[in-house]
């Protein structure tokens, strides 16, 4: 595995790759890697000969008071995991390499960035789009792979590619879960053993909500029951039941539904979702 810190060195290498007509897949991460990230790497390896994984904790997607300074740094473990997956390139840029002219951006994600997570983190998705756009400019991948756990982010990145008319295919992979159902997340490291047991009810509530909707309970009633149940244990930022294609309200012709939620438990913020095809009209 080759490790690059500078854009110029990485570009030289990737130009040599392209001269041999090899395609490139990018997996952007902030480190703290787990099996969810590795599933993205595995998909990238299925798509192309050359896989680039980046590790960069992006300051522009953190608001004041969030965990930028405390975000888990597990580089030695991350490096070993990527080597075990035969990743070709690990890109470890500095802030100066990513933002040589400062962090101001003229790209705004629009309304989709102001709902759900964006309502509580109003600058977050502009920061995500900003850093992903920079990685696309530097790496110029044919493919980029993202996880469906961050579902709103996934749709925003797809929109970015469309809006900028980029020749990049966005691939997504399902959420990887622990054996008990908890969605894998770097921030799970913040949970104590006792907290870890208690947050298992998060996924159970989402699963029960899907079951209720599939069995004829109205979306409104199922949503209200879910919020009431979660509120017994957690601070519920939001729980919505929406059209999975665009995160808008469900219509009669909606075929794919997403139950999507964010909760806070102590100092830890967790997100999760379930996407499913409905059996009948809801």
Same domain, 166 and 28: yes
| Domain boundary, last residue among 146, 173, 200 | 173
Same domain, 70 and 10: yes
Looking at every residue in the chain, the average pLDDT score rounds to 95
Which tens digit of pLDDT belongs to each residue from 73-110?
A: 899 999 999 999 999 999 999 999 999 999 998 899 99
Same domain, 37 and 161: yes
Alpha helices in 3-51 (DSSP H): 7-19, 35-47
Same domain, 163 and 254: no
Whether residue 34 lies in the annotated active site: no
What is the rounded distance in angstroms from the CA atom of residue 213 to the CA atom of residue 279?
9
**Residue 53 within any structural domain of the chain:** yes
Flag whether pLDDT at 282 surpasses 60.
Answer: no
Same domain, 83 and 201: no
Same domain, 234 and 124: no
Q: Which residue has the tokens 């493919």?
A: 143
Structure confidence at residue 281 (pLDDT): 47
**Residue 152 within any structural domain of the chain:** yes
**Residue 77 within any structural domain of the chain:** yes
Q: How many domains does the chain have?
A: 2
| Domain boundary, last residue among 173, 201, 216 | 173
**Residue 179 within any structural domain of the chain:** no
Same domain, 83 and 203: no
What is the rounded distance in angstroms from the CA atom of residue 187 to the CA atom of residue 166?
31
Looking at 58-67, 139-148, 176-185, which range is the least confident one?
A: 58-67
Length of the chain: 282
CATH code: domain of residue 6:
3.40.50.620
Non-local CB neighbours of 24 within 8 Å, separated by 6+ positions: 14, 17, 18, 48, 50, 51, 52, 139, 140, 141, 142, 143
Q: What percent of the chain has pLDDT over 70?
A: 99
Q: What's the rounded mean pLDDT across residues 256-263?
A: 97
Flag whether pLDDT at 200 surpasses 70.
Answer: yes
Flag whether pLDDT at 64 surpasses 90.
Answer: no
Confidence class of residue 158 from pLDDT cuts 50, 70 and 90?
A: very high
**Residue 14 within any structural domain of the chain:** yes
Flag whether pLDDT at 253 surpasses 90.
Answer: no
Structure confidence at residue 257 (pLDDT): 97
| Domain boundary, last residue among 173, 208, 230 | 173
Same domain, 261 and 210: yes
Active-site choice (34, 37, 101, 124): 37
Contact status, residue 129 vs residue 102, Cβ threshold 8 Å: no
Flag whether pLDDT at 48 surpasses 90.
Answer: yes
Beta-bridge mates of residue 185: none
User: Domain of 240?
Assistant: 186-273
Phi-psi region of 108 (alpha: psi -120 to 50; beta: other; left: phi over 0): beta
CATH code: domain of residue 205:
3.30.1300.10
Q: What's the rounded mean pLDDT across residues 200-222?
A: 96
Same domain, 159 and 199: no
């Amino acid at each position: 595995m080759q490790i690059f810190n500078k854009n110029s060195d990485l570009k030289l290498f990737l130009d040599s790759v392209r001269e041999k007509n090899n395609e490139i897949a990018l997996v952007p991460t902030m480190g703290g890697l787990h099996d969810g990230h590795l599933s993205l790497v595995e998909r990238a390896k299925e798509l192309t000969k050359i896989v680039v994984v980046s590790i960069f904790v992006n300051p522009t997607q953190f608001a004041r008071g969030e965990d930028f300074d405390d975000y888990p740094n597990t580089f030695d473990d991350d490096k070993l995991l990527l080597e075990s997956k035969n990743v070709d390139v690990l890109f470890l840029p500095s802030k100066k390499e990513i933002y040589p002219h400062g962090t101001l951006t003229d790209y705004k994600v629009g309304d989709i960035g102001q709902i759900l997570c964006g309502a509580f983190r109003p600058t977050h998705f502009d920061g995500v789009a900003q850093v992903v756009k920079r990685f696309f400019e530097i790496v110029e991948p044919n493919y980029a792979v993202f996880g469906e756990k961050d579902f709103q982010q996934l749709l925003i990145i797809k929109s970015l590619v469309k809006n900028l008319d980029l020749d990049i295919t966005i691939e997504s992979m399902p959420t990887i879960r622990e054996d008990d159902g908890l969605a894998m997340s770097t921030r799970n490291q913040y949970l104590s053993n006792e907290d870890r047991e208690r947050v298992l009810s998060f996924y159970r509530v989402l699963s029960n909500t899907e079951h209720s909707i599939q069995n004829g309970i109205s979306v409104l009633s199922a949503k209200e029951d879910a919020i009431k149940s979660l509120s017994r244990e957690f601070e519920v930022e939001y729980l919505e039941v929406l059209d999975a294609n665009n995160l808008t309200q469900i219509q009669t012709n909606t075929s794919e539904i997403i139950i999507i939620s964010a909760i806070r438990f102590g100092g830890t913020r967790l997100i999760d979702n379930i996407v499913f095809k409905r059996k009948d009209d809801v």
